């Protein structure tokens, strides 16, 4: 069985950032006031059905304060848990390349100019990456590390239509091609246990992603949040959600199908407990992570084992 230097059976974000920066690096979440094309009327008004009112950036620092103040507040939020003077700024809420390039780029520049910020990770959609934006992102990536995070979730169009994603797989593929041409590393988000999807459906998404020219992935279970459109659908037509043991088995198998150099940035999620309806077990993130590593260790599983 293979383990990485941080003793995990996969290439974790913790190890990846140590490889880049030489020490442990933490992320701080910022909300820079963007919206989404599925919320402002361009492609819809309610957003993706699983998304919270805050664009699933419930822990991101928002409000009218200046960028420096948001960074200060974000650091204060984690100061009691960690000791660090270097952070990656994570633009998590909504779609952070959706808006005029001339207005958004100065925001990125101000964030990167902060001496405490060693890099920036920008959450967005593949249909919100203009060529002009990519040129600016490529330029900025030469000053400090920069990542683009794409919310793909699934390769199955039937499921994507059900949660109102608003673009098809060819749009994602085009964005990945152009991001690679610009030299910008990509992190792809997947949701495990989407409504109506089977084990085989999820693994076909995993196998597809495993052979994409991307830097890393994030996996999270499907959350039912009280302030999301999916909550009403779940009440009216309840559908099965994965239990903790099944979730761990699916994620473990997914990791074995990934190439060894693909960074596993996230293996579980933690929705806002005030709004979390189900699955309740997902609120205990550390327990899920411990259970995953134990399951992989006991069964001799590690990243790359089943990669084809």
Percent of the chain with pLDDT over 90: 88
- Please state, in angstroms and rounded to a whole number, the distance separating the CA atoms of residues 119 and 153: 24
- Please state, in angstroms and rounded to a whole number, the distance separating the CA atoms of residues 224 and 273: 11
Nearest 10 degrees: Cα torsion 37, 41, 46, 52 = 40
Percent of the chain with pLDDT over 70: 100
pLDDT for the residue 47: 94
H/E segment holding residue 15: helix 13-21
H/E segment holding residue 29: strand 26-30
* Average confidence (pLDDT) over 198-226: 97
- Could you give the angle at which helices 244-256 and 285-298 cross, rounded to 10 degrees? 60
pLDDT for the residue 273: 82
H/E segment holding residue 30: strand 26-30
pLDDT for the residue 148: 98
- Please state, in angstroms and rounded to a whole number, the distance separating the CA atoms of residues 191 and 220: 5
Contacts of 181 (CB under 8 A, 6+ apart): none
Q: Is 89 within 8 Å of 140 (Cβ atoms)? A: no
Instruction: Please tell me the least confidently modeled range out of 67-81, 98-112, 153-167, 278-292.
Output: 67-81
Q: What count of Cα atoms within 13 Å lies in the side-chain half-sphere of residue 54?
A: 19
Q: DSSP label at 223?
A: P
Q: What count of Cα atoms within 13 Å lies in the side-chain half-sphere of residue 190?
A: 28
Instruction: Please tell me the least confidently modeled range out of 20-34, 98-112, 267-281, 286-300.
Output: 267-281
**CATH classification code of 13-298:** 3.20.20.70
Condensed to tens digits (0 to 9), the pLDDT of residues 213-272 reads 999 999 999 999 999 999 999 999 989 999 999 999 999 999 999 999 999 999 998 777
pLDDT for the residue 53: 86
Q: Select the more confidently predicted residue: 232 or 64.
A: 232
Predicted confidence band at 3 (pLDDT cuts at 50, 70, 90)? very high
Q: What count of Cα atoms within 13 Å lies in the side-chain half-sphere of residue 151?
A: 29
Q: Is 295 within 8 Å of 247 (Cβ atoms)? A: no
Backbone angles phi, psi at 217, to 5 degrees: -135, 160
Residue 184 clears pLDDT 90, i.e. is over it: yes
Taking each continuous run of H as one helix and of E as one strand, the counts in the chain are: 10, 9
């Amino acid at each position: 069985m293979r383990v990485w230097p941080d003793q995990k059976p996969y290439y974790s974000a913790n190890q990846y950032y140590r490889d880049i920066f030489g020490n442990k690096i933490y992320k701080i979440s910022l909300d820079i006031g963007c919206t989404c094309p599925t919320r402002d009327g361009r492609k819809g008004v309610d957003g993706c059905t699983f998304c919270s009112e805050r664009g699933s950036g419930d822990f991101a620092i928002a409000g009218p304060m200046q960028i420096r103040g948001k960074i200060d507040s974000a650091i204060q939020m984690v100061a009691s848990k960690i000791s660090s003077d270097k952070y990656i700024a994570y633009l998590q809420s909504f779609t952070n390349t959706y808006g005029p390039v001339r207005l958004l780029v100065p925001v990125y520049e101000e964030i990167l100019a902060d001496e405490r910020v060693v890099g920036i990770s920008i959450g967005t959609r593949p249909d919100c990456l203009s060529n002009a934006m990519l040129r600016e992102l490529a330029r900025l990536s030469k000053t400090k590390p920069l990542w683009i995070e794409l919310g793909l979730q699934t390769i199955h169009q039937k499921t994507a239509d059900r949660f109102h994603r608003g673009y098809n797989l060819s749009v994602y593929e085009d964005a990945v091609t152009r991001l690679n041409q610009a030299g910008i590393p990509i992190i792809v988000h997947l949701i495990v246990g989407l409504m109506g999807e089977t084990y085989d459906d999820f693994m076909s998404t995993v196998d597809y992603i495993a052979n994409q020219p991307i830097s890393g992935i994030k996996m999270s279970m499907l959350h039912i949040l009280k302030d999301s459109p999916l909550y009403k659908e779940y009440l009216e037509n309840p559908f099965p959600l994965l239990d903790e043991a099944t979730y761990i088995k699916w994620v473990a198998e997914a990791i074995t199908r990934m190439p060894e150099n693909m960074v596993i940035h996230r293996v579980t999620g933690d929705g806002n407990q005030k709004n979390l309806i189900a699955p309740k077990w997902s609120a205990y993130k550390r327990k899920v992570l411990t259970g995953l590593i134990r399951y992989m260790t006991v069964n001799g599983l590690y990243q790359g084992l089943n990669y084809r």
